[in-house]
């Protein structure tokens, strides 16, 4: 091939590696010697620069070289984040807003004491301690009660219609209304049920107990907890949160501890506000069956 033979005529190391050597070649060109190889040499030199530049760009942008997580401010503005999704109850759509949220309650290693420290939850709220978990207490039960207030609100007849059609949904006996809870509340209810199951000795006698006892089915408590864990599993997989949780280690300490970057979250406050408003307008019942009108 002619191209490969003219290529062979060039000093490759000079063409690719030593651009200064092209200057004497350019000066020689003014004396009209070897015009064709000169242009070829220039072209190949430019090509080699382009390839080098391309390789440098590819190298620098390689994901393995990115050591820092993308900072939140370089992410799209919250208003451009995904809005409501098809399965969200339509009435809740205006309440679906997004925010960047740093999770609290992380585990940290105190190198001077050699102990693991459980940090406070919801660091952004400036609240001390852990409100929802820990050894059972009145405070923890009250925090959960407040979180779950008005758990079962009411579906309008048209919202209830698809469920009446497909799965024989019936109104509650005491008020003749169709009740529901958003899935996030069901998942929280389940998480709370698991929490109380861990401290079942305490909750068997506690007034806040929601441990479900069925006289004729002694294994119901166990089934309920397994159901709850499986609901939480599916909810976590459904959300598919891809926020990186890098693992931290300390010399001489055998456990790696994860700590997430800031998460992209649905704004809980606006969800809660919408649900309170709906309960006030349409009524709601608590888990113990008591009617609660906001
Ligand atoms: C770490 O442990 C030391 C020694 O017990 C203690 O003085 C210090 O306050 C602890 N630091 C944190 C951040 O908990």
115 lines ligand 1 (CB under 6 A): no
> Above 70 in pLDDT, residue 82?
yes
Looking from the CA of residue 110, the nearest atom of ligand 1 is 1
Residue range 141-155, pLDDT digits in tens? 999 999 999 999 999
Locate 270 and state its tokens.
């606006």
SS3 for 155-217 is ECHHHHHHHHHHHCCCCCCCCCCEEECCHHHHHHHHHHHHHHHHCHHHHCCCCCCCCCCCCCC
Mutate to test the pocket of ligand 1, among 110, 111, 115 (most ligand atoms within 8 A of CB): 110
117 lines ligand 1 (CB under 6 A): yes
Residue range 195-204, pLDDT digits in tens? 999 999 999 8
43 lines ligand 1 (CB under 6 A): no
> Above 90 in pLDDT, residue 92?
yes
φ, ψ for residue 283 (rounded to 5)?
Answer: 90, 160
113 lines ligand 1 (CB under 6 A): yes
State how far the Cα of 36 lies from the Cα of 143, in Å rounded to an integer: 84
pLDDT band at residue 216 using 50, 70 and 90 as cut-offs:
confident
- CB atoms under 10 Å from CB of 97, counted, come to 16
φ, ψ for residue 280 (rounded to 5)?
Answer: -65, -40
73 lines ligand 1 (CB under 6 A): no
Lowest mean pLDDT among 162-166, 188-192, 288-292: 288-292
From the number of C-beta atoms within 10 Å of its C-beta (0-12, 13-18, 19+), residue 215 rates as exposed
pTM of the model: 0.71
Q: What is the mean pLDDT of the chain?
A: 80
pLDDT of residue 52: 76
Lowest mean pLDDT among 58-62, 64-68, 238-242, 280-284: 64-68
> Above 80 in pLDDT, residue 172?
yes
């Amino acid at each position: 091939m002619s191209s490969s033979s003219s290529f062979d005529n060039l000093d490759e190391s000079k063409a690719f590696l030593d651009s200064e050597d092209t200057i004497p070649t350019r000066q020689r060109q003014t004396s009209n010697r070897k015009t064709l190889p000169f242009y070829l040499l220039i072209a190949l030199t430019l090509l080699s620069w382009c390839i080098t530049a391309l390789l440098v760009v590819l190298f620098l942008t390689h994901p393995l070289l990115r050591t820092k997580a993308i900072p939140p401010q370089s992410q799209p503005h919250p208003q451009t984040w995904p809005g409501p999704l098809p399965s969200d109850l339509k009435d809740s759509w205006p309440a679906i807003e997004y925010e960047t949220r740093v999770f609290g309650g992380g585990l940290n290693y105190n190198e001077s004491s050699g102990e693991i420290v459980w940090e406070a939850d919801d660091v952004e709220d400036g609240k001390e301690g852990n409100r929802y978990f820990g050894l059972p207490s009145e405070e923890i039960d009250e925090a959960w009660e407040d979180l779950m207030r008005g758990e079962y609100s009411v579906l309008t007849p048209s919202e209830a219609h698809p469920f009446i059609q497909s799965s024989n949904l019936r109104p509650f006996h005491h008020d003749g209304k169709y009740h529901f809870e958003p899935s996030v509340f069901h998942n929280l209810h389940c998480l709370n049920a698991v929490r109380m199951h861990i401290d079942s000795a305490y909750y068997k006698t506690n007034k806040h107990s929601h441990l479900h006892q069925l006289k004729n089915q002694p294994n119901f408590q166990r089934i309920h907890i397994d159901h709850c864990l499986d609901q939480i599993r599916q909810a976590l997989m459904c959300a598919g949160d891809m926020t990186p949780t890098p693992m931290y280690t300390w010399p001489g300490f055998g456990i790696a501890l994860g700590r997430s970057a800031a998460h992209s979250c649905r704004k809980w406050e606006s969800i809660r506000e919408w649900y309170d408003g709906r309960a006030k307008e349409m009524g709601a019942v608590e888990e113990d069956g008591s009617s609660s009108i906001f």
